[in-house]
Structure formats: C-alpha cells, structure tokens
Structure 1
C-alpha cells in the first residue's frame, strides 16, 4: 500500500500537526502537560518492551509449511498427520536458553526448537530443543536449574560454581551435560542442527488405540557445528550471527528444510523397557524403535515484524489437537502448565488472539474479558455453559484416550536411576577427536569453579559413565579420581 499523502496520527486516529516540536510555554518552556501527542509517544515508548522470556529470551523465527509424506492414521487421528501430501502452515522459533534478549547467538547452550502448526483442528505446538534429552526429569527442579544458568544475584555475573554444584548434585544431568559439552553444543547455524520433541507423547487413532511417540526433526542441510574459537570471535563481532544467517538464507531463496521422523512404542512396552520411556534424560534406542519418516518441514518466509511475530509468539506443550496427548513424563507434566502461564503473565491473558498465535479455525469458547481483548469479546452471545441457547458444547468423540494409572499419591522419584549408561554410550560413540574436544570444553568450563569438592563430585559422575572419561577430565583439572569410585 502506498504511503503517499498519508497523515501521521495519534493512536486514536487524530492527525498530528507537528511531530518535531513539543508544546511549550514560550520558546524556552517549560513543556505543557496538555501536549497529549508528546505524552502518548513517551508513555507508549516506555511500554514498548514486554517482559522478556525468563528462558529462551533470545530467538529467531520464520514461517513455512509442513508436508506429510507418510500417512500416520494407523497411529494418530490428528489431521495434520493424515493424508499424504497434506500441507499445514507453520511458524518456528529457534532460541538460546540461558542468555538475555541481547545475548550472543554463538554461546554453548541448548537451542529451543518450537514449532506452531496452524492445523484445521486448531493450533498444535511442538516445543522442544536441538537435543533429544534434558538436564532434569522433574519440573519441580526447573526453577532451581535455571537459576544456576542465570546471573548471580550478588555479582550479576554468570556463576560456574552454581552450575557445576547443581549438576554434580543432580547426576541425571550427566547425559545432557555430555551432549552440551560436545561438538553439538554450538551449532554452526540454526539451519544445521536437528530438533527434537525431547519428551514422550501419546498418539491415539480413530479407533481409540494409542501408542507412545518421540519426535525427531532431521536437518536436510546436514549437522554442522562451530569451533570454540570461531564462536567466541563471532560472539564479539556479530552476536546476532545465527539470526542473520537464517534471515538471509530465507530472503535469498535458500529455504532450510527438515525431515520429521518419529519413534513409536506400543503402550505395554513402557512397563518393561530397560529405561523408563518417560524419563526425558534418556533416549530410546533406534534399534529398538526405528525412525519412521512422517513429513518435511520447509521454512520459506521471514517475519515482516520481529516483535509482532517472533517476540509475541507463544508456544506451549499443552497446545495439542485431537490424536495427540501428553504422557506421564514428569517434566512434560509441569511444562503443560508453566508455559501457558508464562505467556499469560508476559504477553497477556488474550495472547492467543494475536495474529501470530491465532488459530486458522475460529475459537469457540466462553473466555471473556481481560486486558487487550481486541476482538468483539463474544459480542452478546451466551457466556456460560451448559446453556440452552445454542452455544458451543463439548464433543465426546474428542475425549482423550485413557491410560491406566495406579499407586499412592506421594512425592516419588523415577524408579530407574541409571544415570550413567547412556552418557557413557554417548561418550564411546564419539571419535577420539570429538572426545578430546569434549574433555577440553568440560575442563575449561570447570576450571573457574572455586571448590575442589564440587569438581571431584562431578568427576565421579564422568568416571561412572566411562572410566577414561572421568580420568581425562580429572587430569585436565590436575585432580585424581576419588578412590571410592574406582
């Protein structure tokens, strides 16, 4: 649309006669409070920043589509996964975890990998990371874990003492620590990394049969990583390197793509598998549950406005569609509440009405009012349920598939506490060069830790995963592996 002869207006639409000079009492002032245009500009400017995300603050996003290449109706009735060739529009947000909104892209950190599918049954958010696992497996530990990744409240500096103290006291973190400190801890670009749902989810088909499922987005660009020295150089010279790379690739028509695969586990296997399949610190063996291709995701359009689309985009693992449900994964169960609650605080109770979050199908419910309700707020329609005035009502065919639960209501840990086998397997899968870089990264990260007891406690975990692993880290820190673990 042409901007020729367009008048500048206030937020309420009144034309502005002078946008260069504030209204004053004479040439030297003081400024008059009746200059409502000045007051509106300053007041709006003061409020231009919504609170940044506590985690995943720094991010980049893009629009695209998901095309189904393998019909999944055998496993799920979710329509986006039914019918080969079906295309679903989507939006993705990539992010770092620990840093603030202005932090560098090329730090050693997991990357958020959050996909919003605008399906014909409503939005479906798959909110994962570029790692198939996580540091903890119970949501009650999440605030404490994130506190260790943030700034010390006294010094306002990152605190390696807190990081390694927490990890050494939380041995379930070892698998993810090994992954993070390895080569994949710093992806070369956002286009050259895989994405994962990380958690276990449940799929249900039209016949009411259910399976457990894990998601894997495999990059078609190939996995490429970044060396420490290059990452550090870019962090200083171009802290927005990943954001810029993604934008430029799409702008130049080099559209990045990922192949979505899933692992499928029969419900009954969850009771006998050698690892708890709901423990997000563990993976399922691909030999036991091979990858099955589902479809292809392509990013082909940049946002027109970063704030409106990337910053105000809200994702929640609880945003699901019929045929996709939660599992008993304790970390996932906490996220089902926490993510949407964060958005209600950060963006507002009506965040799902914003264009970037609004479903392509009409939402029909009895939610009313709240700040920034900018549609017709339900008009004069019925505003409660049940009612006898023809308002929307429940549809029993969309009930979730049942699964059996048992036991006493209590605060209990996962039954399986082998935190070392998979971390050791990951170490042994690495080439000698990869192991060398892993150990170098860990040693460099642990050297600033002031207390040897914290270092020794962590070294024990490395040793239990693989003796060589522990011994090489200990040697790098000029320490000895404690005798009690040998």
Structure 2
C-alpha cells in the first residue's frame, strides 16, 4: 500500500470527514436530510446503471390476494386490518440482489421479497428480503457494499476478494454472512422461502398509540433449499429455474401461499430494550416478541406481459395507508428516498401511474407533466394548493402521532457499543452438525481464492462469534487457529 494518503472528497471536491456513519439525531437516528454526503452518494448510486435495476435486477412476479385472518385492529387504524375477513389484491416480485438480468437464478444471494398491497386506502408496499437481517446498518455504506458484490472495475468480473475485503472490514455483516452461506442461502424455489420486512416498521391506532413491528411471511409450502452442488448444476441447465418454477406452478393452479405474521413492540419499550430495535443487522428474539398471526397471502395469477408488469413494477417503503409507517431505522430512512428516486430515474417521473403500480382507489394530487405523461394530465384542474376551485385538500385526521426524538446532530460511529457477534454465533449454534458442515464448506469454497490476510481477518470474526465456527473455517483453509488466537491475545 502507498505511503501517501489521499482524502476522499465529494463530487465538488470537499473533503469527506466521515464515510462510515450517517448524520443522525442521536445514536439511534433518524437520519437527517442535511446529510449532503449521504444524499449525494445515494443519488449517484441510483443513476449508475441504465436501464435495468442497480440491485434486484432479475426477478419474477405474480398477482394474488391477501386475506386478514388475525385481529390486529388494536395496533393500527388501517382499514385493511379493521376486521377479520377483509381482503385486497396484491402484486409480488421476488429477485436476486447482485446479479444482472441474465444471471442464474440459483446464485448464492439474498432474495428480494417485495409485495404491493392494493388497499382501499392506497397502496401499501412491503419491501423486504428472504432474510430477517442485512449486511449493514448504516445507509452511507450501502453503495460501497453493493459495489463490492458487483464487478471488478478493472476485469469486469465478479471477484471474491472484493466481497470478503468489504465483509471482513465490516463486522456488522457477520450475521447475514452466516445466514447467506448456510443452507438457506440458496432457496430451492421462490415458493419455498420465507420473507421478512427485515426493517422495523410502525403501526399506530386511533388513540395515537404507536407500536414497532417486524413483518414475517412464512411459506406454507415449507422451507426447501439447494446445496451448492445442485445449484451449480441447475445453473448450467436452466438460468431461469426460479422464474420458470413460479410461473409454471401458478399456470397449473398450484397457488403458493404465505402466512403473514408480525412481532410487536410497544413504542416505550424500545427505549430500554437491550438491543437497538432499529438495527437492521439484528433480529428480535421470539421469546421476547412472539409471532402474531395477521393473514394469508396467495399468488394466483401470472402477468400477461413481463416488461409491463414485472420489469416496470416499482415498490417503495414509504407507501403505506394511515395507521402504518416507518421507524427510525437508519437504513429504512434512507430507502424512503432512494427507492422512489431510483424509479423516477429508471422508469420516469410518472412511474406510479403505470397499471401495475397505480392504486385501486381514487387518486387526487397535484403532480403534473413530466416525461411519459400518458393520461389526461388532470385536464383543466388547478396544479397548485391551496386553490379556490375545489381542488383536493389535506386531511388532518390522517396525521401520524408525533415521534419523540432527541440527540445532537453528528456522525455517530455505528459500531461503538454494538455487539456484532452474539447473534451470528447464536445462528451457528442453532444449526445441526450437518448444517454446520455445509456452512463451513461453502465459506471455505468462497474464501479459497481470497488473499490470506483477508482470510485471517474474516476468520477472527467467525472465532469471536463462536470458537468452533472460526476453528473449523480456519482448518478448512489450512490455517492454524492457535496462531491467530495467540496473535489476537
């Protein structure tokens, strides 16, 4: 490495003081809009590729229905959940994260799990993954993470060294890495995987009481996974294995279903709970917050045109009817901006009016003009508010209860005071002996072409999560764990 240090700058040449931590109101957030560096990174990242999605480029989608089977009306005023038996139409899209449009469906990669519920009060978009956690907790690192998973700027090829260099320097990724390289890292089909909001969201009721929630979608078909060997074989036979399986199942009347559940934490408990409930790298133990039944999701209709309905589908976590909302989760706060910003760039400013995205309820707003305006553009009605010509007005009754925040605006080190090892170790210890063996083999295979100093750095993380975990990976790579332990001591 060169002895001369070059300091990172913004595009305007201003030196960046901290590229690891977003500016938040207090250590737990929320993120501040005045964080110019964060906004610049995210806006530039959204515009790096055209026309396919930067992430989640390859996917499969289908229409279906959601029916409420459990009473959660005490937590939310949303009409959808006002009584058992309510239902709505939905559109779901599943996707890989890192691969391009032509990539293999069976790659070891998290799967996007996005659902658009067309409720009578407007669209509710649940934008999640098939994992309950993620690799990072601060959005300032998101574009860096994705770059490390994409292609080497010199060779144009995927590079294990890039991936493990980032992960080994980001210990908060260990929980997700352990999940990804375990058995659930490659689902057998899209029908045989769970979905999670991953983020913490909120519900609020007519009394103004707020609850923090995590959403879970439990596959009725049961969890089924592929070994690394089977995944490689299938990739050589059918790049579209998952897409084909979902389409064929629905076409044959074999409609996949998921039981929808939530974990609920009263707002006041978040202040004293031992874990930061808004940390995307952590799960809430079910012993503390058990699953509560909400409803049943079924996919039962294939799209008629892939481009119009799947490729142009656009999900954004800010879409939620009254009674539902976001949380101070830093990653979620940034996604509230990033997702619609990416859609405006990729599809056009009027993306929300496309058939697959438009609500199934009346729409009244003052958005006008823009590229691909394909309707009447609201005719002669006024395009400003307030006005004297019966234009739509805001409704104070829909106001969300105030969120109390405190703290000095600064870039807080998100790793200070955070335990990045216990939950990863717990996940390892939950695995059977056979599952641990496959995890170690998968990790060793991915780490083999990586430089030794990065291997050593990553093994130290495994060891801190569980000594057996680190020892077995080290042994598989031909590294003497006692030497590493002695060096660390």
TM-score by length of 1: 0.89
How big is each residue's C-alpha offset from its partner over 1:414-459, in whole Å with a ceiling of 9 and x where there is no partner?
464100000000000000000000000000000011x211111100
Alpha-carbon distance between aligned partners in 2 of 1:199 and 1:334, rounded to the nearest angstrom:
12
Residue 284 of structure 1: how far off its partner (Å)? 0.2
How big is each residue's C-alpha offset from its partner over 1:12-48, in whole Å with a ceiling of 9 and x where there is no partner?
xxxxxxxxxxxxxxxxxxxxxxxxxxxxxxxxxxxxx
Contact 1:118 1:359 in 2 (8 A): yes
Equivalent pairs, count: 437
* Secondary structure of residue in 1 paired with 2:198: coil
How big is each residue's C-alpha offset from its partner over 1:221-257, in whole Å with a ceiling of 9 and x where there is no partner?
0000011111101111101000000001001110000
Alpha-carbon distance between aligned partners in 1 of 2:305 and 2:82, rounded to the nearest angstrom:
33
Matches within 5 A, 1:286-305: 286-305=286-305
The answer as to 2:199 corresponding to 1:199 is yes
Contact 1:67 1:295 in 2 (8 A): yes
Alpha-carbon distance between aligned partners in 1 of 2:363 and 2:50, rounded to the nearest angstrom:
25
Aligned-pair Cα RMSD in Å: 1.1
How big is each residue's C-alpha offset from its partner over 1:122-150, in whole Å with a ceiling of 9 and x where there is no partner?
11100000000000011110000000110
Residue 319 of structure 1: how far off its partner (Å)? 1.2
* Secondary structure of residue in 1 paired with 2:84: coil
Residue 50 of structure 1: how far off its partner (Å)? 6.6
Higher mean C-alpha displacement, 405-414 vs 91-100: 405-414
Alpha-carbon distance between aligned partners in 2 of 1:485 and 1:221, rounded to the nearest angstrom:
46
Contact 1:50 1:347 in 2 (8 A): no
Matched residue, 1:276: 276
Contact 1:167 1:173 in 2 (8 A): yes
The answer as to 2:245 corresponding to 1:245 is yes
How big is each residue's C-alpha offset from its partner over 1:39-68, in whole Å with a ceiling of 9 and x where there is no partner?
xxxxxxxxxx97000000000000000000
The answer as to 2:434 corresponding to 1:433 is yes
The answer as to 2:402 corresponding to 1:402 is yes
Matched residue, 1:254: 254
Matched residue, 2:351: 351
Matched residue, 1:422: 423
* Secondary structure of residue in 2 paired with 1:385: coil
Residue 484 of structure 1: how far off its partner (Å)? 3.8
Alpha-carbon distance between aligned partners in 2 of 1:412 and 1:378, rounded to the nearest angstrom:
46
How big is each residue's C-alpha offset from its partner over 1:78-131, in whole Å with a ceiling of 9 and x where there is no partner?
122221111110000000000000100001000000000001111110000000
Matches within 5 A, 1:230-241: 230-241=230-241
Structure with bigger gyration radius: 1
Contact 1:168 1:454 in 2 (8 A): yes
Alpha-carbon distance between aligned partners in 1 of 2:229 and 2:474, rounded to the nearest angstrom:
23
Unpaired stretches in structure 1, ≥5 consecutive residues: 1-48
Matched residue, 1:128: 128
Higher mean C-alpha displacement, 264-273 vs 113-122: 264-273
* Secondary structure of residue in 2 paired with 1:410: strand
Matched residue, 2:55: 55
* 1:484/1:271 CA distance change after superposition, 3 Å: farther
Contact 1:464 1:485 in 2 (8 A): no
Alpha-carbon distance between aligned partners in 2 of 1:131 and 1:409, rounded to the nearest angstrom:
31
Matched residue, 1:68: 68
How big is each residue's C-alpha offset from its partner over 1:191-228, in whole Å with a ceiling of 9 and x where there is no partner?
00000000001100111111000000000000000111
Contact 1:382 1:391 in 2 (8 A): yes
How big is each residue's C-alpha offset from its partner over 1:334-362, in whole Å with a ceiling of 9 and x where there is no partner?
11100110000000000011000010112
TM-score by length of 2: 0.88
